[in-house]
Structures are given as structure tokens and as C-alpha cells.
């Protein structure tokens, strides 16, 4: 009997020592990240979305149409509320132009201005513009498994390849089954948590699974969150070239 | 002879003469007070700026502008040897960067100002930072001024999150410990400023040996790669403001002088009107009109001289008393004036002499203009009191 118990205990120890790492090794973090990128990425995208900004005292909802092409070009047109109606943003490479109908002027938001909060949200212009492939900018390593929102996720630890990347480390909760990101945390160089993004309401759109809702939280602020809801998403759409020219930035 | 007649006539005017003298004396006192107060303000503001920020001038990275925070990160350079080798008494290396503080988890944009701990050129209450290591630990020590502490609801011993960017643009954040709330007499380096050790700020932002400027005791000639900003340039906004203030005070003083001159002018007009029979008699007896003008003008001069005496009698005790109590301008620090305490007038003898001389000349002129018409008076009409109607 004693012998049997020892055998079971040894088997369990072996299971923990060998089997778990074997399972972990099955996760190729970098490959999984590439699969995540492939799922989310398309040459062109059209989105009609709502940006719900909750600063703890007041909730504002911005409605926008966005057209995106590759990593470099995007154009957004704000349709509501009336205060922001007609505001346009054009991103070409590292530059962002903003047009406001009130002033009937376009301004270049470049350099340090990109780090300011966008329209009082938890996102900076830089965050909003960020549209690079994570697998290109970061090296991923598998950290552990964790259940998030009832889904088994692999937690990947991402370290920036480049010293100039805004967030030097990130953590992403990825479902290996669907290759979808469910949660992301962005950290300062020191390791302090700065932003948390939760991806919700995944839906199959064409051949891709795409989150209908993204909730951004600035973890250094209290009681604030910005929810980005995508009402219409279309991939690989044809975008007129005039949308990516400065000529569009007028009334 | 002229003097005696003028003297007698002046005293005979009684209350009218006294009021003239009093108004002029008060104007002189107001003028000296106004100028001296502005001098005192300027001297104190200059002293505060020089001892807390400016020193004898800055060698700055070309293009650096303290009023453009979004560009501070673009304008830093390695300290040149000629400035780096200066003794600690003659220079203070300063690095300025943008940061975001989160007191009570609310965003508060701040200026991160790192300064050498060994420097003794500038007088700042940063002793609390000296005992820390060259490399920042998990908690970064910082000092804030009273005004900043009040605005951000900070007190000594508080820890608060600070976020900033390093040289590459990567974002970093750590807790900072408020080791002291310093009494900084210059609100410009208090309001919105977090004071750090220079070595800590350099390490935090990956800017080894870099500065935004080096404050020096005196101009050391051209330093390649840097441009010198003298005290006048660094204080140009304040000096422009004071220049405007002086113009305003001159307008005020001008109005005051117009009133004084009008009063003297009126008195003289009234004098010759009331005393035209006396003037006619003296002319009939053979006194030359020119001499009469001299006598009447001397009366004006006498009024000016007595005004000077009275200004001394009333003004000197007032100035001595005011020099003791000063003028509380604590409200000005709210408007970012580099003055937070009481200001005291700064009396400049040369300036007082010039101002008083101008008052005297104006008084004499105001006394002479109305009486010069005596030259053209017809003695027969004057005797009958009908020369001036």
C-alpha cells in the first residue's frame, strides 16, 4: 500500500515536472503573436465606431468613421457629438493632421503633441495612431496559462525590439485556440502598469475574429475608461485615394 | 530787495499759499514713493530671480525655450568642458524635462527640473535631496515648493506616481517621495516644478552628462554649441512689465503735476487780478515791469521751496516708517511674479534729485507764465483796476 502511494506521488511529481513544460513548449509565443496579427490585420479596413469616454464625472460619446490602409495611412471623420462633428484626422506615416470645422484649420499633431490625451480619453493620439504589428515590434515569450473571461489564455510577455518603442514591455492574454487577444497590459520601463485594454465581443467577420469592443483604462488615473465600440467593420475594402490626401481636410 | 517784497507778498497770501505748498509737497512725496517702490520691486524681483534661477546668466542649448514644454526634450546637450570644469560656486547645471504627476490619481503636468547637488550658485531649499545615492532607487526623492504642494495637495512624506519619457521616447513611471516642501521665493521655479537631483533625472531619462542650460556667475565668453542668455534677456518679460509700470506711473505723475501747476497758475492769475492796483501804483512810481514779473515769479519759487521743505518734514518720517513695515505683495506670487514677500522702497538719490528738480522747474514755469503779461499792462488802467478783466 505504502509502495503504491509512493508510486502515485512520483507519477504526479513527474507529471508536474515534465508534462507542464512540455505543454508550455508547445506554445511558440512568437508564432502565436504572428497568428494574432494575421487575424487582426488586413490591407485595408473600414470601421464605424463609437468612442465612449468616461472620465469619472461625465460620459461623452464620439461617433467616427475610419478608413485604414496598411500601417501608415488612416483617415477618421467624427460625426457626433455636435461639438466634434466634422472633425477629421488624417494619419500619414508618423504624422497626424487634425481638422476642426470650428476653426476651419488643419493642425499638424507631431512629436510630443502625439503624447497628449486624445479628446480627454484614456488614449493618447499616439495610442490611437498605433497600428503596427506587435510581432514586428516585440519579441514574445510564453509566461503562463491563465483563464480570463472563461477562456484559457496563454500569457505572452512582450519585450520591445527597439529602445524607441513607447511601451517597452507588454503582456497579452491570447487564446491559443482562436489566436485572439483578450486582454493587454502595457508597462513603463520600470515595470509599472500604465494601461489595460480588454478586448470583448469577438465576432466572425469574413475569415477573421474581430473584437467588437475594446475597453481602455489608464491605470494611473482613477475611475476613467474609454470604450471603443465597433458597429461596422469591413476588411479589404477599396478606399478612394483622396481619403489619404490633405485635400480632404476641409469643410 | 526783490526777495523781501516777494517774501512779504507770499506770506500775505495766507491759506491760499499754504494749500499750494501742501499740494505740491504731497505730489513730491507721491512721486518719490512711486518711483522708489518700483525700484524696490525691481531690485527684489531681480535678486529673487538671480539667486534662485538666473545666476549671472545661462549658457543654453540653442533653441531651448522654457515656454515651450513640448520641445524641452529636443534641446539638451552634453555639458562642454569649459563649463563643466567651473567650480561649484560658479555654475549650476540644470536639466529640464516634461513629466506627468498623478496626485490622488489625477493628471498634473509638471516640469522636472534636475539640478546639481554640489552647486552653491543658486540658493534653493534642496538639502533634503543631498543624502540620496547617485543612482535613483525604486523611490525617487523629490522636493516641491509651497505653492506646488498646495496646488497638487502634496505634503512632506507623500509618495506619488510620476510618468516621463526617456531620450528614446519610451515611457517610464515610478513613485516619487516628497522629501521636503521648500520655501521657494520665486514662484516661477515653484509652481508646477518638481525638483530632482540632476544625476537622478539624467539616469531616469538616459541623458548622461546632458543639460538644458548651465547657470553661471558671470559671462565667460563664447562657448561653442551654446548661446549665452544674460540677466536682461532672461528677465525681459519682467523688465518690460516694469517699463510699462514706469510709464503708467509717469502718466499718473503727469496728471498730478498738471493739477499742481493749475493750482499755482490759478493762484498767480488771482494774485495779479486782485493786486492790479498795487501793480499799477508800483509801475506809476517807476518800477520796471520786468522787475514786477521777477517779484511775482519769486513768489512761485518761494511756494516751490516751501513745498520742498514740507515734503521733507512730512515725507522723511513717512519713508522711514514705510521702510520698516514694507508693502505686502504676497498676492502677486499668484500671478507668477518672482516676488512672494514684502517689498521695500529703494530710494535712489539721483532719481529723487532729478524728479524734485523737474517739479521745481514746472512750479516756477507755472508761476511765471501768468505774470509775464504784467509787462504789457497799462499802468493807468491797472491803477483803476481795469487792466485785467
Q: Which of B63, B68, B173 to mutate to test the interface with A (most CBs of A within 10 A)?
A: B173
Closest CA to B300 of B264, B331, B324, B250: B264
Is residue B84 included in any domain, yes or no? yes
Which of B175, B209, B229 is at the close of a domain?
B229
Average pLDDT, chain B: 88
Closest CA to B216 of B47, B96, B94: B94
Which of B173, B199, B229 is at the close of a domain?
B229
Which is more confidently placed, B12 or B315?
B315
pLDDT of B290 above 90:
no
Q: A135-173: per-residue pLDDT in tens?
A: 999 999 999 999 998 999 999 999 999 998 989 999 999
Inter-chain touch B98–A112, beta carbons under 8 Å: yes
Is residue B290 included in any domain, yes or no? yes
- Judgement on whether residues B319 and B204 belong to the same structural domain of the protein: no
pLDDT of A110 above 80:
no
Q: How far is CA B7 from CA A125, B18, B273, B312, in A?
A: 83, 13, 19, 21
pTM, full prediction: 0.77
Is residue B388 included in any domain, yes or no? no
Element holding A40 (H helix, E strand): helix A29-40
Distance of CA B334 to the CA centre of its chain: 17
Inter-chain touch A220–B168, beta carbons under 8 Å: no
Reported as a pLDDT band with limits 50, 70 and 90, residue A23 is very low
Chain B residue with Cα closest to A122: B107
Inter-chain touch A165–B165, beta carbons under 8 Å: no
- Judgement on whether residues B281 and B356 belong to the same structural domain of the protein: yes
pLDDT of B326 above 90:
no
**Three-point CA angle B369, B370, B372, nearest 5°:** 70
Domain count, chain B: 2
Residues of A with CB under 8 A from a CB of B: 111-113, 115, 117, 160, 163-168, 188-190, 192, 194, 220-222
Inter-chain touch B170–A220, beta carbons under 8 Å: no
- Least confident piece of the model among A126-130, A232-236, B89-93, B368-372: A126-130
- CA atoms of B383 and B275, how far apart (whole Å): 10
The owner of cell 512520483 is: A10
* DSSP codes joined into one string, B110-129: EEEEEE-SS--SS--S-GGG
- Judgement on whether residues B362 and B293 belong to the same structural domain of the protein: yes
- Judgement on whether residues B284 and B370 belong to the same structural domain of the protein: yes
- CA atoms of B87 and B274, how far apart (whole Å): 77
Question: How many CA atoms, within 13 angstroms, populate the side-chain half-sphere of residue B311?
Answer: 24
ipTM given for this complex: 0.79
Provide the angle, in degrees to the nearest 10, between the axes of the packed helices B276-284 and B236-274. 70
CB contacts of A190 in chain B (<8 Å) are 172-174
The owner of cell 544625476 is: B199
Which is more confidently placed, B262 or B86?
B86
Inter-chain touch A194–B173, beta carbons under 8 Å: yes
Q: What is the pLDDT of residue A20?
A: 42
B70 CA: distance to closest CA in chain A (Å): 5
Domain A28-248, CATH homologous superfamily name and number:
Lipoprotein localisation LolA/LolB/LppX (2.50.20.10)
CB contacts of A168 in chain B (<8 Å) are 170-171
- Judgement on whether residues B146 and B21 belong to the same structural domain of the protein: no
- CA atoms of A66 and A77, how far apart (whole Å): 6
Is residue B389 included in any domain, yes or no? no
Q: How many CB atoms lie under 10 A from the CB of residue B112? A: 25
- Judgement on whether residues B213 and B264 belong to the same structural domain of the protein: no
A116 CA: distance to closest CA in chain B (Å): 10
Among partner residues B107, B163, B170, which is closest to A163 by beta-carbon distance?
A: B170
Chain B residue with Cα closest to A56: B106
* DSSP codes joined into one string, A64-94: EEEEEETTTEEEEEEEESTTTTT-EEEEETT
Burial class of residue B96 (count of CB atoms within 10 Å of its CB; 0-12, 13-18, 19+): buried
Q: Report B:32-61 residues touching A (Cβ under 8 A).
A: none
Domain ranges of chain A: 28-248
Inter-chain touch B170–A190, beta carbons under 8 Å: no
Closest CA to B290 of B372, B177, B377: B372
Inter-chain touch A194–B70, beta carbons under 8 Å: no
- Judgement on whether residues B259 and B221 belong to the same structural domain of the protein: no
- Judgement on whether residues B189 and B245 belong to the same structural domain of the protein: no
Q: Which of A189, A191, A217, A224 to mutate to test the interface with B (most CBs of B within 10 A)?
A: A189
pLDDT of B322 above 80:
yes
pLDDT of B361 above 80:
yes
- Judgement on whether residues B378 and B248 belong to the same structural domain of the protein: yes
- CA atoms of B245 and B240, how far apart (whole Å): 9
Which of B229, B249, B279 is at the close of a domain?
B229
- Judgement on whether residues B215 and B335 belong to the same structural domain of the protein: no
Among partner residues A112, A165, A188, which is closest to B173 by beta-carbon distance?
A: A188
The owner of cell 558671470 is: B218
Inter-chain touch A163–B102, beta carbons under 8 Å: no
Query: Domain range spanning residue B374?
Result: 2-50+237-383
- Judgement on whether residues B209 and B328 belong to the same structural domain of the protein: no
- Judgement on whether residues B145 and B217 belong to the same structural domain of the protein: yes
Amino acid at each position: 500500500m505504502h509502495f503504491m502511494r509512493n508510486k502515485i506521488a512520483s507519477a504526479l511529481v513527474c507529471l508536474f515536472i515534465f508534462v507542464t513544460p512540455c505543454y508550455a513548449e508547445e506554445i511558440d509565443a512568437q508564432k502565436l503573436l504572428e497568428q494574432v496579427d494575421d487575424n487582426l490585420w488586413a490591407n485595408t479596413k473600414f470601421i464605424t465606431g463609437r468612442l465612449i469616454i468616461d472620465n469619472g464625472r461625465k460620459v461623452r460619446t464620439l461617433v467616427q468613421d475610419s478608413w485604414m490602409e496598411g500601417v501608415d495611412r488612416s483617415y477618421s471623420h467624427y460625426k457626433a457629438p455636435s461639438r466634434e462633428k466634422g472633425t477629421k484626422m488624417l494619419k500619414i506615416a508618423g504624422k497626424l493632421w487634425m481638422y476642426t470645422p470650428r476653426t476651419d484649420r488643419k493642425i499638424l499633431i507631431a512629436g510630443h503633441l502625439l503624447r497628449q490625451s486624445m479628446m480627454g480619453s484614456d488614449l493618447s493620439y499616439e495610442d490611437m495612431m498605433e497600428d503596427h504589428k506587435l510581432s514586428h515590434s516585440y519579441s514574445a515569450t510564453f509566461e503562463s496559462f491563465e483563464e480570463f473571461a472563461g477562456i484559457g489564455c496563454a500569457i505572452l510577455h512582450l519585450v520591445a525590439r527597439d529602445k524607441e518603442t513607447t511601451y517597452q514591455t507588454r503582456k497579452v492574454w491570447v487564446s491559443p485556440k482562436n489566436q485572439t487577444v483578450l486582454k493587454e497590459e502595457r508597462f513603463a520601463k520600470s515595470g509599472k502598469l500604465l494601461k489595460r485594454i480588454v478586448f470583448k465581443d469577438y465576432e466572425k467577420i469574413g475569415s477573421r475574429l474581430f473584437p467588437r469592443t475594446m475597453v481602455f483604462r489608464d491605470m494611473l488615473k482613477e475611475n476613467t475608461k474609454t470604450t471603443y465600440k465597433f458597429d461596422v467593420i469591413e476588411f479589404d475594402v477599396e478606399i478612394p485615394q483622396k481619403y489619404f490626401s490633405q485635400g480632404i481636410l476641409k469643410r | 530787495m526783490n526777495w523781501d517784497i516777494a517774501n512779504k507778498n507770499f506770506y500775505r497770501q495766507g491759506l491760499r499759499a499754504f494749500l499750494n505748498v501742501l499740494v505740491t509737497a504731497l505730489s513730491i512725496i507721491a512721486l518719490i514713493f512711486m518711483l522708489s517702490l518700483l525700484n524696490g520691486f525691481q531690485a527684489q524681483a531681480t535678486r529673487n530671480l538671480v539667486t534662485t534661477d538666473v545666476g549671472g546668466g545661462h549658457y543654453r542649448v540653442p533653441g531651448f525655450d522654457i515656454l515651450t514644454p513640448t520641445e524641452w526634450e529636443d534641446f539638451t546637450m552634453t555639458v562642454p568642458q569649459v563649463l563643466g570644469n567651473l567650480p561649484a560656486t560658479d555654475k549650476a547645471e540644470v536639466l529640464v524635462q516634461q513629466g506627468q504627476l498623478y496626485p490622488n490619481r489625477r493628471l498634473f503636468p509638471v516640469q522636472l527640473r534636475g539640478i546639481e547637488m554640489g552647486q552653491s550658485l543658486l540658493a534653493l531649499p534642496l538639502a533634503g535631496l543631498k543624502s540620496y545615492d547617485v543612482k535613483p532607487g525604486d523611490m525617487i526623492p523629490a522636493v516641491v515648493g509651497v505653492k506646488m504642494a498646495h496646488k497638487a495637495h502634496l505634503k512632506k512624506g507623500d509618495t506619488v506616481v510620476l510618468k516621463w519619457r526617456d531620450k528614446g521616447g519610451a515611457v517610464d513611471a515610478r513613485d516619487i517621495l516628497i522629501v521636503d516642501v521648500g520655501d521657494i521665493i520665486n514662484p516661477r521655479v515653484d509652481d508646477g516644478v518638481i525638483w530632482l537631483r540632476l544625476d537622478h533625472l539624467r539616469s531616469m531619462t538616459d541623458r548622461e552628462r546632458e543639460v538644458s542650460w548651465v547657470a553661471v556667475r558671470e559671462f565667460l565668453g563664447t562657448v561653442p554649441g551654446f548661446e549665452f542668455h544674460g540677466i536682461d534677456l532672461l528677465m525681459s518679460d519682467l523688465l518690460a512689465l516694469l517699463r510699462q509700470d514706469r510709464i503708467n506711473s509717469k502718466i499718473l505723475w503727469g496728471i498730478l503735476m498738471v493739477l499742481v501747476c493749475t493750482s499755482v497758475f490759478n493762484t498767480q492769475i488771482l494774485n495779479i487780478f486782485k493786486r492790479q492796483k498795487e501793480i499799477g501804483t508800483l509801475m506809476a512810481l517807476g518800477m520796471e515791469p520786468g522787475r514786477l514779473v521777477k517779484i511775482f515769479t519769486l513768489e512761485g519759487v518761494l511756494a516751490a521751496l516751501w513745498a520742498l521743505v514740507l515734503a521733507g518734514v512730512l515725507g522723511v518720517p513717512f519713508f522711514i516708517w514705510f521702510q520698516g513695515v514694507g508693502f505686502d505683495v504676497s498676492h502677486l506670487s499668484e500671478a507668477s511674479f518672482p516676488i512672494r514677500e514684502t517689498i521695500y522702497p529703494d530710494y535712489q538719490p539721483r532719481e529723487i534729485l532729478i524728479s524734485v528738480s523737474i517739479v521745481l522747474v514746472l512750479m516756477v514755469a507755472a508761476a511765471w507764465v501768468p505774470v509775464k503779461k504784467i509787462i504789457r499792462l497799462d499802468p493807468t488802467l491797472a491803477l483803476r483796476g481795469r487792466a485785467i478783466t
